[in-house]
Each structure stands twice: as C-alpha cells, then as structure tokens.
Amino acid sequence: MISGYILGISCGYHDSAASLIKDGKVLGACEEERFTGIKHDSSFPINTINWLVSEFKITPNDLEAVCFYENPKLKLDRIETSTKKGGWKNFFTRLKIISKNKKVYKDTISQLETLRGNKTQLIYCDHHLSHLAYSYYTSPFNESALLSVDGVGEWETTSLAKASDDIKKIGSVKFPHSLGMLYSTFTAFLGFKPNEGEYKVMGLAPYGDASKYINKFKQLYTVTKNGGYELNMDYFTYEWSTNSMFNEKLSELFEIPNRLPEETLEQVHKDIAASLQQIYEFLFFRLLDTLYKQTKSENLCLSGGCAYNGTANGKILKRTKFKNLYIPPAPSDAGSAIGCALHYAYSTPGNRVDNSNPYLGPTFNTDDVVTALKVYEKDVWGERKLYEQITNIVANEIVDGNVIGWVEGRMEFGARALGNRSILANPRDPQMKSRLNRVIKKREGFRPFAPMVLEESSSIYFDYEDTVPFMNQVVKVRDEHKHHLPAITHVDNSARIQTVNKRQHRRMYNLLERLQVINEYPLVINTSFNLKDQTMVLTPLDAIKTFLNCEMDTLILNNYIVKKKIK
C-alpha cells in the first residue's frame, strides 16, 4: 500500500469533490457545492482542496500523488467522435462543443499541475475504475462482484468487475448505450433537470401504471448477449448535442409533447415514469444476473450515479442470488474523488483499513456556534444544554409535532443527510409529509420522506433483513405498521430507510431509543437540512439562516438549542 498523502479530485461534469488519503485512510472529503452553494457544482474543487490543505496542514511537497477520476484525453476523444453523428447541420455546434471541451481539458490539466510538489505524481484513473474502487475499497468485503452504472465516463457507461485485493473488469457497455442516459433523457422529457431530477422521477413512478407505456419503451432498446443492451438512437440526440437529449420522434412515439417544467404533472407523466422505472429495473437485473454467473460471488458492490436508484437497489437481495450488498454513501462522481485515490493507494499490496465512515467533511466548534448566535441575536436565542437534556427535549418536541433542524460534527459525504445535517420530524403524524414539503423543504408534494430506524429493530417495521446505513435502498413497510407511519410510507407502501447503530451515530441512536419509549416507534423522519434548490447547510451560520427562512420550530447546533425570537 502506498503510504504517502494522496489527493483525489473529480470535476468537470457534476458533483465535483476532493479527498485526502494517507496510509490508505480517507482523512477528509467534501463536495464543492457545500462551499459554493451551487447544487451539483461541476467546477474545479478549489474550495474543498483549500479546506483539506488547511485542515490537515499539508503542502504540495507532502503529496505523493494527485489523482484525477478519469482520463480527460480519452473523454475528449469520445466527444470528438460521437458529435460527428450530428451530421453537417450540426457542424458549427460540434465545433463549439469540441472547442469548449478542449478548453476545459486544458484548464483542468493546468489546475492539476499547480497542485503538484517536487516529487508529486499526476495520475489519471479510468472513470468507471474510480467508481468501482470507491465501492470496493470502502466496503467490508475482501472479495466481491462489482457493478458500476452511470451516464458515461470516457467511453464506458456500464462496467462489470470482480475484486479480490485488486479489481479486474470482466465486461462493459459502451457509449451511446447507457442506462444513465436513458433515465436522464426521460427526466428531461418529463420536465425535470437531468443529473438532478432523476430522484423526482423515481419518486413519481409509484403513482403511475407501468403497463400503459411498457410497449413503447420496448421500442427504445434491444438486449444483447452477456446481459448487455443497446438503445435505439433514432430517438436520442445526447450523443452529439448539449442542448437536448431527444428529438421529436420520442414525442411521436409516446403520442404526447414533452412536459415543460412549469406545466402541471398529469397522470400520463406518472405512467411514463412508472414504465421507465420498470424498464430500468429489467435491464439492470439482467446485468446483475450476468455478473453473478461470471463471478459466483455472494457479495456485491454497487457504484455509479445509477446506484442512487434506491427503488431498484432495495430489490437486489430478493431478485438476485447475491446475499450481501454494499452501496457507498456517494456512488456518483463525487465519490470517485475518493475512488481514484484509493485505487492508487492500493495499487501496491497492503492491508486494507476501514473506510466506511461517511462523516468526512468540515466540522465546527462551540466558538463557531456562539459567533453565529451573536450575528443573528436579533432573530434567535440559544441555550447550551447537557447532551441527555437535548435528547429528551428533542424527542418530546418531535412527538408534539415540531420540526427539528439537527446540525453536529463533520458533514456527511454524499447526497444523503445521515444525522449530522438533518431535518427531523414525527413519522407518525399524518400531516407531516405535506407540511415538510410545503413550508419546510418548499418542494413538490409528491416527494416522499425517508426514516431513520434502529438497526436491530428495522426488520420489525420493514420487509428487509439487511442493514442500510447510507439510506440508499427503498423497501416495503410491513402491512401491520404502514398505517401507523403515514409520513414515511410512500404511495406504494415503500420507504427509503437508514438503519442506525450505536457505533455509527451515538446521538441519533439514543434519540431513536427515546422515541421508542414515548412514541412507540424507534423511527424519525430524516431529510437533508436544506430548502428547495439549495445545498445542505455547512456551518452554524448557514443553519441559522436556513432556520429563519422556513417554518422549522427548533434548531440543534451541537449542544445548543436554538429558538426564534417572537417579534
């Protein structure tokens, strides 16, 4: 194992991030959006890098390597080749696309070079290898089957692999054939933003009837040998266009115009979402069945942006022969900032260390809380309490119907709040889902909310036996409990759960224990501490500002309880 400091970086497309690794251990990692406030920020993660350098007191000369999550030259080759498909009418647009990407390529190389010390190596990792390495080297498995599925890397869109100390690819699907691009295309067709709104489509799908459009979807792909697939590119333009992902033939096939963002969601849109999810799962499980046949491993590590499809993920252990599943907290490009660095760190033999901790971002102390309270002293007041007092106060407030902002310790890495930057509420309150969507999160009313649950009690309430520490699997609520948990039970009786044990998060574990006593269920709604179109709060100042911008009742900042002043 390479023992020196390794800086890992991902950027240029979406979810830019950086990480720092030493002796095979992830010391810190964060998405750039947490510093800039720009959702899915794609820019070079200079703020994150500056934080890592400052936090861990390193200089360029301390770095053994700077690792980048993909090969920019190969990616540019794919763009130059694929944009030719647009024909002569697209000639000038193609030139602009190539020119823009060449500039991005040149600027990225230049920025990476500035990070190097006298003996620092600059390493370009393969895109999907970065995904695979992130899931494998943060997993508990010594040997495992690996699957990475996303939009596109250099040329690959899907990668099958097997790992035992090192990673060996055993199959792939190449661009333009892509499950990620298929899902993103219909995200755009349904009026949502690609690379951001896919989870909205997934949440919309249970409201629809998949049978309505399943035959239409079957005209968009063909299956190939070894679990592969090919898309019918007559309907898609993402191969050569940056302005649109589909053409008029798609509307003609589905016999409706694409929905514009401000237009009302109709039943037809819900039916299309349902059919899309069903087709995605059909092709996804063909890949998994092939992977199992080729590896015979009972363990599976899943990565790539499509690993955020919790609905499909929650069915893996029931619909395949895999017995153990691991999905890391940030399987999209952000996680590849860790993956490329770990791949390099373990490129020479060495004992693996535990990298399962998701709390890798910036933290704050009591002085930061006091300063923030001083800045907002006209609007809020805060009182320091003992830890045990806070647990009891918050549990009682949740049962009384209050909404709690909870901010403590190091920020989570990944898209899911896991207890350090969370909004908490009562899962038993039938009005809570509506209230959270309307006046707290200020988002679409159809969107479901996820519960935290005590790990040892999870299977009592949910039809699922495995642990889900990173909230990335959607499972069924057991029939005898769904009516008692209306705020977290989706229209199809499902929920995207996060299981919690004492080692993982002591304070949340104790809160759930207290809720079991006074609310009969060791569960709490857990959603990320942000409003619509905003990023998760990073600092106490961010938290108080957001707290004042919505109808949240109480804010917890480490051991401080914060309330709004009555004016």
The CATH number of the domain where 97 resides is what?
3.30.420.40
Torsions phi, psi for 300 (to 5 deg) = -135, 130
Q: Do residue 336 and residue 304 come from a single domain?
A: no
Domain-located, residue 67? yes
Q: Do residue 390 and residue 506 come from a single domain?
A: yes
Q: Do residue 388 and residue 537 come from a single domain?
A: yes
Average pLDDT score over residue span 396-418: 97
Q: Do residue 374 and residue 341 come from a single domain?
A: no
pLDDT at 354 over 90: yes
Average pLDDT score over residue span 467-487: 97
Domain-located, residue 145? no
Among residues 3, 48, 40, the alpha carbon closest in space to that of 22 is found at 3
CA angle 21, 22, 23 (to 5 degrees): 125
Which residue among 294, 326, 358 closes a domain?
Answer: 326
Given 3-state DSSP classes, what are the helix, strand and coil percentages for the chain, each rounded to the nearest 5? 40, 20, 40
Q: SS3 for 302?
A: strand
Looking at residue 440, its pLDDT comes to 84
Q: Do residue 114 and residue 166 come from a single domain?
A: no
The CATH number of the domain where 552 resides is what?
3.90.870.20
Counting the structural domains of the chain, the total is 3
Q: Are 507 and 391 in contact (CB under 8 A)?
A: yes
- Show the domain range for 93: 5-138+332-345
**Quick one: tokens of 65?**
């390597």
Give the pLDDT band of residue 258 (cuts 50, 70, 90). Answer: very high
Domain-located, residue 351? no
Domain-located, residue 147? no
Burial letters 258-296, b for 16+ CB under 10 A, else e: bbeeeeebeebbbbbbbbbbbbbbebbbbbbebbbebbe
Beta carbons within 8 Å of 500's beta carbon, 6+ residues apart: 419, 452, 453, 454, 455, 469, 508, 509, 512
Which residue among 345, 380, 408 closes a domain?
Answer: 345
- Measured N-to-C along each axis, helices 366-375 and 540-548 cross at an angle, to the nearest 10 degrees, of 40
Which residue among 326, 358, 391 closes a domain?
Answer: 326
Q: Do residue 381 and residue 517 come from a single domain?
A: yes
Q: Do residue 508 and residue 422 come from a single domain?
A: yes
Q: Do residue 311 and residue 403 come from a single domain?
A: no
Q: Do residue 168 and residue 237 come from a single domain?
A: yes
pTM, 2 dp: 0.96
pLDDT digits (tens, 9 = 90+) for 480-508: 999 999 999 999 999 999 999 999 999 99
Looking at residue 513, its pLDDT comes to 98
Mean pLDDT of the chain: 95
pLDDT digits (tens, 9 = 90+) for 55-73: 999 999 999 999 999 999 9
**Quick one: tokens of 186?**
């219909």
Looking at residue 92, its pLDDT comes to 81
Domain-located, residue 468? yes
Looking at residue 426, its pLDDT comes to 98
- Pairing status of strand 221-223 against strand 25-31: unpaired
Measured between alpha carbons, how far is residue 188 from residues 14, 245, 273, 333 in Å? 16, 8, 11, 20
pLDDT at 91 over 90: no
Angstrom distance (rounded) from CA 33 to CA 193 = 17
Q: Are 457 and 520 in contact (CB under 8 A)?
A: no
**Quick one: tokens of 66?**
């700077």
Average pLDDT score over residue span 265-280: 98
Q: Are 346 and 23 in contact (CB under 8 A)?
A: no
Q: Are 75 and 90 in contact (CB under 8 A)?
A: no
